[in-house]
Structure 1
Amino acid sequence: MSRIVQNNLKIWKYDGQAVLETEDCAAVEFPLTIYIDGEEFATAVCSPTDLEQLTVGFLASEGIIRQIDDLASLIMDHDRGFAYAELKRKQTISKEFYSKRMIGSCCGKSRQFYFYNDAKTAKTVMSKQKISVDQCFHLMKQLQMRSEDFQLTGGVHNAALCTTGEVLASFSDIGRHNALDKIYGHCLMNQVPLQDKAIAFSGRISSEVVLKAAKIGVGILISKSAPTTLGISLAEDLGITAIGFARKTQLNIYSHPERIIEASGPKGDAVKM
């Protein structure tokens, strides 16, 4: 059984006729406290797997590091839930700076909603990679096939780094943002080029999710779920093709449709809007 799931939990279930004692499983919730140069920085509530990738991705997402070589060391205490990061170049880190909203305007667009660290790390994606609708459905099917923990508990999100043809790495977490940070950490730790990659995702396309995709540097985000209005605005602003409700044979394209071709193969035409 995965560390993400705890089984043999005693519950009482009503089956429509009576309340019966039985057993079930649930997603594990785990606190990971991250220290930077000996100072406590943040605690992430997460699933207790791929914690090194989560830590690296979180630090990069927060703008603390830009590449894996910015870390002098990273020591993980998996059992107790601590991560101790030492930076090669020491810096003064203000927690207020990383949680304070930046009020301003950017040509009337949605970037006035960024936090300071988001404005520093979320860049416009310039990738020209295209993907067919058939490939979108294939990737979502592959993501679902790898989602055993969700099928058991209904309590985790899944995210996968993909080419247009296959899933390269997938991660699960109780937090959708954590699953994306695990992808980011994996990419940095393995120096994965991102210009031709996509992300398949199980959760809602919120502003936070779009910002994570922009920080990672992936231009195509495919989800089975719905977007939010700010998520759509940020995706348009940041050059990300946001695809929602990708289920069976239908999907919705909310931004930058020029990356989507209607059919696989050389005869496929780009979607026009």
Structure 2
Amino acid sequence: MAYSKQTNRTIVRFVNGKEHVVEDMVATEIPITVKINGEEVVTMISSPDHIEDMVVGYLVSEGFIVSVDKIMHLRYEAASGFVHVTLKQALNPFHHQLQTKRYLTSCCGMSRQSFIFAADAKTTKTMKTRNVFLSPTECMTLMNELQAGATTFKETGGVHNAALATPSGIVLMRTDIGRHNALDKLYGYCLRHQLSLEDKVIIFSGRLSSEIVLKVAKIGCEVILSKSAPTNRALEIAEELEITTVGFIRHQSMNVYTVPERINRSSG
């Protein structure tokens, strides 16, 4: 069964108090259940595209597997919504406990005490390298490119957009109703196609929450650009993990919140 990323629906729209019956487009969402070695491990609500990439990105970033070569077989059944994953090894029976266990920690190089999930501590990377440098103009150009390519968002207003880019332009873009899903789709594609992340930037349409910054750290990118706002905890984590965060990129203005040395302030 093939699904479209948007669905047509007849609605009643009021404009200046007047009623109009019109056709509108809404974002499509479907449940995706992942089975590993025959065992159900998670059900995600997702947009109906790039499902295999999303699952691979999720499994690696959440620590179910350490690399994509641990997967022997992956099969997506669109009709049932199941993704069947066969691993070369047995699934760690304690991994689910790590997924849900919180603890006060200084792991991931974090000197500030903060509640995080144990699985996050296992897979998060500290970005000590300085391989990516951007000018303010490049940041704004990349954000404009993301928004120009956000077709499903323009049609429905109900999805998040994420892209992988170099300073010269977008390399890969993904859309999903779930913020995490969009990033997992990027990461899964890179893992499956051996696309290097060393010189890449994440561009994101939504708010920079702590979970999004942690996901970027798991993917292994030094810089994240957003048109929206960060949270204080997201910035604390970004600072500790040495990730450059840039927010509110709009109308020729932007805010650099953490690790500003990756932004070349001497150029336009």
Please tell me the TM-score bracket, short chain as reference.
Answer: over 0.9
Q: Does the 8 Å CA contact 2:10/2:24 hold for their aligned counterparts?
A: yes
* Unmatched runs of 5 consecutive residues or more in structure 2: none
The within-5 A match list for 1:114-129 is 114-128=116-130, 129=132
Distance in structure 2 (CA, Å) of the matches to 1:131 and 1:79:
44
Structure 1 runs, 4 residues or longer, greater than 4 Å off: none
Q: Does 1:3 align with 2:12?
A: no
Would you say 1:49 and 2:37 are equivalent positions? no
Q: 1:44-101 deviations in whole A, cap 9, x for unaligned? A: 1110110011000010111012221110111111232111111112232342321221
Which secondary structure does the structure 1 equivalent of 2:11 belong to? strand
Cα deviation, residue 197, structure 1: 0.6
TM-score of the pair, normalised by structure 2:
0.94
2:116 paired with 1:135: no
What's the secondary structure of 2:99's corresponding residue? coil
The answer on 1:100 being equivalent to 2:101 is yes
The answer to whether 1:249 aligns with 2:244 is: no
Report the secondary structure of 1:119's partner residue. helix
Alignment gaps of 5+ in structure 1 = 269-273
Return 74-83 or 147-156, whichever deviates more.
Answer: 74-83
Aligned residue pairs, count: 263
Aligned to 1:112: 114
Query: Which residue is 1:153 aligned to?
Result: 156
Question: Compared with structure 1, are the counterparts of its residues 74 and 226 closer, same or farther at alpha carbon in structure 2 (3 Å cutoff)?
Answer: same
Cα shift at 1:111: 5.8
- In structure 2, the residue matched to 1:30 is 30
Distance across 2 between alignment mates of 1:247 and 1:263: 20
Quick one: which of 174, 178, 181 aligns to 1:175?
178
Distance 1:113 1:44 in 2: 24
Q: Residue 146 of structure 2 aligns to a residue in which SS? A: helix
Amino acid at match of 2:53: Q
Contact 1:133–1:263, Cα closer than 8 Å, also in 2 = no
Equivalent position SS for 1:200: strand
RMSD (Å), alpha carbons: 1.6
SS of structure 2 residue aligned to 1:231: helix
1:110, distance to aligned residue in structure 2 (A): 4.4
Alignment of 1:258 with 2:252, yes or no, is: no
Give the Cα separation in 2 of the matches to 1:169 and 1:52: 16
Distance 1:44 1:224 in 2: 26
Structure 1 residue matching 2:100: 3-state secondary structure? coil
Asked if 1 retains the 8 angstrom alpha-carbon contact of 2:105 and 2:116, the reply is no
Give yes or no for contact 2:33–2:43 (8 Å, CA) kept in 1. Answer: yes
Give yes or no for the alignment of 1:197 onto 2:200.
yes
Read off the aligned partner of 1:164 and give its amino acid letter.
Answer: P
8 Å contact 2:6–2:25 — kept in the other structure?
yes
Shift of 1:117: 0.5
| Distance in 2, Cα, partners of 1:36 & 1:263 | 50
How far, CA to CA, are the matches of 2:251 and 2:266 in structure 1? 15
Q: 2: distance between equivalents of 1:110 and 1:219?
A: 20
